[in-house]
Amino acid sequence: MGLGAQSANTTSESDILGSRPVRSAEAIPRLTSLGNPAMPRTLPRRVEPEWLDQLPAGDPDAIRSRRDLQRLNRLMGHVDSMARLLRRGGLGLDIQRLVDLGAGDGTLLLSIARRLARSCGHVRAILVDRQELVSAATREAFRKLDWEIEIVAADVLDWLAAARPGERTMMVANLFLHHFAEAPLRALLGRVAESCETFAACEPHRSRFVLAACRWMGWIGCNSVTRHDGAISVRAGFTAREISDHWPKSEAWRLDESPAGLFSHLFMARWRGG
């Protein structure tokens, strides 16, 4: 799930809409069941396809779901969380180039740019996503903030494989890493580590409470795609130091990882040399 999840147009609209499952009441645990001692305390990580990643960019449900995600990013505090990580990473000081992996429509990064514009000055940003979803209005808003942006329509792994290692480069990902199972995630982070000096990510926090809270998404007006993908995202999310465990082993990197609020999970890697 996420503005930050790279999209894939691999199936037709009728295939996707026709395959949407009828979810039973047991698919998401109720909040009242979380104290049941018979239920296991941990929630195993499970990566499954999300509907938004498979819908065409112009599908009405996809358009509405991306709007839902803009609202959810604000409600979960992801704009503020990512802005703080970018400040810690040295954007505008040591960092001269920013790369957003799985950037989606670019609106999350734009909201972050508005938070940081006064302190960062001119920023060069590269937005990488399979589909080119960034509107003319969003591009113009970046320009007014003195952010020079480049839109790259490419698979993130392919782009990283061809990218030159960048000095003074920071990479970020919002609601993107959870799309990758164990081996692909390790490969992705390995390529990220080869291509930047700082990396920050904001992902779903995986817990039974957060999974149960997905029931609330309908109450705030989220459509069926967002409600479905929300639960899938939580099951594929992270806890403890799971992202750190997939990062390349090296004393040259400082790794920080922790939950943020009730629903989110933050990770940051900073090169300290060696």
What are the pLDDT tens digits along the chain (274 aa)?
554 445 443 333 333 234 443 343 334 444 444 444 444 467 999 999 999 999 998 999 999 999 999 999 988 889 999 999 988 887 766 677 899 999 999 999 999 999 988 888 788 999 999 999 999 999 999 999 999 999 999 999 999 998 876 668 999 999 999 999 999 999 999 999 999 999 999 999 999 999 999 999 999 999 999 999 999 999 999 999 999 999 999 999 999 999 998 999 999 999 887 5
Residue 193 lies in a domain: yes
Return the pLDDT at 22: 37
Return the pLDDT at 273: 72
Question: Total domain count for the chain?
Answer: 1
CATH of the domain at 180: 3.40.50.150
Residue 160 lies in a domain: yes
Q: What's the DSSP call for residue 40?
A: -
Q: What is d(CA 142, CA 192) in angstroms, rounded to the nearest whole number? A: 25
Return the pLDDT at 168: 83
Residue 21 lies in a domain: no
Rg (alpha carbons) of the chain, rounded to whole number: 18
Residue 34 lies in a domain: no
Taking alpha carbons only, the member of 44, 68, 40, 13 closest to residue 230 is 68
The string of pLDDT tens digits covering residues 98-111 is 999 999 999 999 99
Residue 191 lies in a domain: yes
The string of pLDDT tens digits covering residues 5-64 is 454 433 333 332 344 433 433 344 444 444 444 444 679 999 999 999 999 989 999 999
Residue 257 lies in a domain: yes
Q: What is d(CA 36, CA 39) in angstroms, rounded to the nearest whole number? A: 6
pTM for this entry: 0.83
Residue 39 lies in a domain: no
Could you list the residue range(s) of the whole structural domain that residue 239 is in?
50-271
Residue 68 lies in a domain: yes
Q: Which two tokens stand for residue 71?
A: 């609202």
Return the pLDDT at 274: 54
Q: Which helix (H) or strand (E) holds 89?
A: helix 78-89
DSSP string over 157-170: HHHHHHPPP-TTEE
For residues 170 and 198, the answer to whether their CB atoms sit within 8 Å is yes
Return the pLDDT at 92: 62
